[in-house]
A and B are shown apart, each in its own frame.
Chain A
Amino acid sequence: MNLLRCLQGLTRAGRVGVALLALGLGSAQAGVKVERLVLPNGVPVLWVQTPGLPMVDIQVDFDAGARRDPKGKEGLANATADLMERGLKARGDAPALDENQVGEAWADLGASFNLGAGADRFSLTLRSLTRPTVLDAAIRLAARHLGDASLDPDLWARDRARSLASLKESLTRPGTQVERAYARAVFGDHPYGREVTEASLQAITVADMAEFIQTHLRACRARVSVVGALDREQVRERVTQLLAQLPTDAQCAPLPSLPPVQALREAQNLRITLATAQSHVRLGQPGIARNDPDFFTLTVGNYVLGGGGFVSRLTEQVREKRGLSYSVYSYFAPGLQPGAFTIGLQTRPDQAEQAVQVARDVLSTFVREGPSERELRAAKDNLVGGFALRLDSNRKLLDNLANMHWNDLPLDYLETWTRQVEAVTTAQIRQAFGRVIQPDRLVQVIVGP
């Protein structure tokens, strides 16, 4: 009893603690101060100076993720990213480098460089020591990947063969099957629902990649985020060098508009037969875009429903009470366009129907009634109390910066985050879930025997 009172006391004290916490971050870390600068060529840079370790993380994002893959050439953005990593043509005194020489050059620097595409973003990430000789060379080499990619057709032929083989392998797995069927059903013909196929990989050529680069990888489309032991001048100088080979335009040509994500007209139940030890289940529908005004409301609500570690309603009902699944969760995937709201679990095949029913009941009840005041308090205690855990490494800070930048969030986003969470009410959660989720119109996919 004593202990409990004490913990409650602490929790209350914790709310006072949050204000202190923000102060602490500022002083202890000399820099969760997010700053913005704009390069002469118009490229915006968000950055945080963290003097603690002699290293820097840089991310450059372009609006060139998989959703912009041309129909029939699904996989283009990622294939281009892979090939851009693998070879450079000569420019000036800089010699051509084949894929092995590129690998050696990065290893010699002890730096890591990566290109890749998600649904929305095509991203470059670079991690390097800030020792000037190393950082100089790393920035120069990364800049060459953006400007001098060799796009060797023989390399693509080999990479494609490898991708085809691993695609076939992945299709033997229940996890892949359930994800693909689910995305198709939720998004229909919208690019978020399209998938890489044998045919789409076969259709991609290095000419497509060159055109992709020409269209998308331009200074006017770049958003840069930097976290590390660099000051404003150093950030300005390094990012300028990094993007030096991107074409600059007075203004970017607009990208083609994409179709909207359509709401589901009716429920869909899909079953895919595969002889597996477990049935894999997905339930859901189109959810929200990141600019949805209810973003915070739904984030807090989902913590209660299926987001909060071992304490969510779904975990309580499916795992803790009934032992039906090792992992059960729900999430929103807010993108530039509405991503899916998804519930997922895996269970022994003979229990699949039961587990699905339990998950459906939990969702319906939650949408109808929303969380209790006590559950909302618990959600806020965790989200607000744990806010510092979202910022306690350079890597995490970089994720936050890139997210702010990508979604046009205000510079004081991190400072107001906990207030936004605190402001959410049970009525708002009920209302927002009622608007966004229709439990009678869900896509349900079960893959299993």
Chain B
Amino acid sequence: MRKLCGWSLAFWTALSGAAPLTEPPTQFQLANGMNVIVQPDRRAPTAVHMLWVRVGSMDEVDGTSGVAHVLEHMLFKGTPSVAAGEFSRRVAALGGRENAFTSKDYTGYFQQIPAHRLPDVMKLEADRFANNRWPDAEFRKELEVVKEERRLRTDDSPRALLFEQLEAAQYVASPYRRPIIGWMEDLDTLEPNDARAFYRQWYVPANATVVVVGDVQVAQVRQWAQRFYGSIPARAVPARKPREEPPQRGLRRLEVKAPAEQAYVAMAFKVPAFQGFQTPHTTDALALTMLAAVLDGYSGARLQRALTQGSDRVADSVNAGYGFSGRGPQSFYLQGVPAAGKTARELEQALREQVARVAREGVREEELRRVKNQWEAAEVYKRDSLFNTARELGTLWIEGLPLDTNDRLMEALQRVTPEQVQAVAAKYFGDDQLTVATLLPQPRSDKPPRKPTQPLRHGGTP
């Protein structure tokens, strides 16, 4: 032990040397199947350490919705050697910041730390990944915290409620139909053993990756990873049922009543996802990305210009977005707030007309060039944040994509042509794969209202 402490300091001092500021990521596997990704970035003496588990709300089954996220909360509640709450106290004492997040596709835990504290947080994280234990009472208390989180994020947020209902209507078989935070009714009946079973089932080394970005050396991180994570016994990753969504056969429409002043309309079109560079859908996925950017990628892009300007504008705000990739099915979204005196239906038609126009008339080279310039610059800007770099690497692993995907993506996107954009606008935006959700504003009165697009976090202050 003493040796370890002394060693990390020695490591630290050794670093004022002359290695390059940044290096490409390196990936390797431990004997127990756990994956490790390391990207040195020596612009500052800090590091971010993340543990990603390939399990999210999409891996839940009916009746226990929300359990992936509740379990994420419970990971802070102790191991035989680290008491409840002690994990956070130790990370804080190391000068660290920490949190965790759950999405449909994954659960992640992270600490941002001075780089010489890396072995300490790796040791702590490995311990709770392998040995998380807590009494029922801790679970029941924390479940109440999660319900408060649901009330805060969803029940009192009309647009969050709208998206929750939209996804529930959009999918019948795909587990993407369930909210990450869980239905309140399921949370009410969730039991400690539901969380324990989920933990035993999914928190196995071959179902997880460690990501380290910062002022570190790959060989050193490898050694620590072997010591702390490598000692966790290997177990089989459970088989997953694909639960593919059957083809939708016609438009689905729903309304949500909630206390609000402004109406809202959200349309989700089922479209192919990006799953690598050599699939039948690759070209379309790239073109859909470009379509979203041409519609709404910058101030003054097509949607804004056509729908939110002038005295007879149809919308106060509009938005287009494409999910692009993930473990589950992806959608292309069009949404917005109708202007005063306009109806949600008028906005719906106007939004679809903008896609139809691209299908009819195509897009201009200069629009594509503009978007490509923006992406190229954004590639530089995003490297300013170690956290973003780590998150990107974690997400790629979760989706089973190679680590050079984003570089290759930038090249591939540069080659997208106006014809390809026009083709996807013509192909995917009919009625049959569409779900439309409309928010009907109500005066605030009786029943309280409920999509988180962002991963849920273990906690935080606004």
Contact = CB atoms under 8 A, between A and B. Distances in A.
A and B associate in one complex: yes
Interface of A: 2-3, 5-7, 9-11, 13-14, 16-17, 20-21, 23-25, 27-29, 50-55, 99-104, 106-111, 127-129, 134, 154, 157-158, 161-162, 165-166, 168-169, 171-175, 274-278, 308-311, 315-316, 319-327, 329, 331, 344, 346-348, 378, 381-389, 391-395
Most B CB contacts (10 A, CB to CB) among A16, A28, A129, A134 go to A28
B445 A275 contact: yes
B298 interface: yes
Interface string B300-331: 11001100011101001100000000000000
B16 interface: yes
A278 B151 contact: yes
Given A29-B44, A391-B44, A277 B156 contact: yes
A219 B446 CA distance: 55
Interface residues of B, number: 101
B386 A381 contact: no
A309 B92 contact: yes
A346 B92 CA distance: 25
Interface of B: 1-2, 4-6, 8-9, 12-13, 15-16, 21-22, 42-46, 76, 81, 84-85, 88-90, 92-99, 112-114, 116-117, 120, 123, 140-149, 151-152, 155-157, 215, 259-262, 297-301, 304-305, 309-311, 313, 316-317, 337, 339-340, 369-371, 373-378, 380-381, 383-386, 444-446, 448-449, 458-462
A165 B262 contact: yes
B373 A109 contact: yes
B43 A52 contact: yes
19 contacts: A9-B2, A17-B114, A20-B9, A20-B13, A23-B16, A25-B44, A52-B43, A53-B380, A104-B298, A110-B375, A110-B376, A129-B377, A275-B446, A309-B98, A325-B148, A327-B461, A348-B151, A382-B92, A384-B95
Contacts of A323: 140-145, 148
Given A53-B384, A381-B93, A388-B114, A310 B145 contact: no
Contacts of A29: 43-44
Contacts of B261: 165, 168-169, 171-172
A385 B148 CA distance: 32
A111 B373 CA distance: 9
A290 B148 CA distance: 34
A107 B459 contact: no
A175 B24 CA distance: 43
B148 A392 contact: no
A385 B114 contact: yes
A16 B9 contact: yes
A55 B97 contact: no
A17 B116 contact: yes
Contacts of B446: 275
Contacts of B146: 326
Given A2-B1, A99-B300, A104-B300, A54 B45 contact: no
Nearest to A162: B316
Contact of A101 (B8, B117, B300, B375): B300
A10 B10 CA distance: 12
Contacts of A103: 298-301, 304
A436 to B, nearest CB: 21
B94 A385 contact: yes
B12 A172 contact: no
Contacts of A104: 298, 300, 370
Contact of A278 (B1, B15, B116, B156): B156
Contacts of A329: 461
Contacts of A25: 44-45
Contacts of A24: 12, 15-16, 45
B458 to A, nearest CB: 8
A394 B301 CA distance: 29
A228 to B, nearest CB: 10
Nearest to B21: A52
A348 B146 CA distance: 12
Contacts of B112: 389
B444 A172 contact: yes
Most B CB contacts (10 A, CB to CB) among A5, A320, A325, A329 go to A320
Most A CB contacts (10 A, CB to CB) among B259, B305, B381 go to B381
Nearest to A320: B85
A108 B373 contact: yes
Contacts of A128: 377
Contact of A28 (B44, B262, B313, B339): B44
Given A28-B15, A322-B141, A14 B316 contact: no
B119 to A, nearest CB: 9
Contact of A110 (B76, B90, B304, B377): B377
Most B CB contacts (10 A, CB to CB) among A165, A324, A389 go to A389
Most B CB contacts (10 A, CB to CB) among A127, A172, A316, A326 go to A326
A158 B384 contact: no
A277 B258 CA distance: 12
Most B CB contacts (10 A, CB to CB) among A54, A99, A278, A316 go to A278
Contacts of A166: 262, 316
A387 B45 CA distance: 10
B459 A310 contact: yes
B98 A275 contact: no
Contacts of B13: 20
Given A28-B15, A103-B298, A275-B444, A55 B381 contact: yes
A324 B148 contact: yes
Given A13-B9, A107-B298, A158-B313, A310 B93 contact: no
A107 B152 contact: no
Contacts of A17: 9, 12, 114, 116
Contacts of A310: 76, 85, 88, 92, 98, 458-459
A107 B374 contact: yes
Given A157-B311, A323-B148, A388-B45, 18 more contacts: A13-B6, A21-B12, A24-B45, A106-B298, A134-B377, A275-B448, A278-B151, A310-B458, A311-B92, A319-B459, A325-B145, A344-B461, A346-B148, A347-B148, A386-B114, A388-B95, A392-B386, A393-B386
Contacts of A319: 145, 459
B185 to A, nearest CB: 14
A311 B148 CA distance: 19
Contacts of B370: 104, 107-108
Contacts of A52: 21-22, 43
A387 B97 CA distance: 11
B305 A100 contact: yes
Most A CB contacts (10 A, CB to CB) among B5, B93, B297, B311 go to B93
Contacts of B309: 99, 158
B46 A392 contact: yes
A13 B1 CA distance: 14
A294 B435 CA distance: 57
Given A28-B15, A395-B385, A275 B120 contact: no
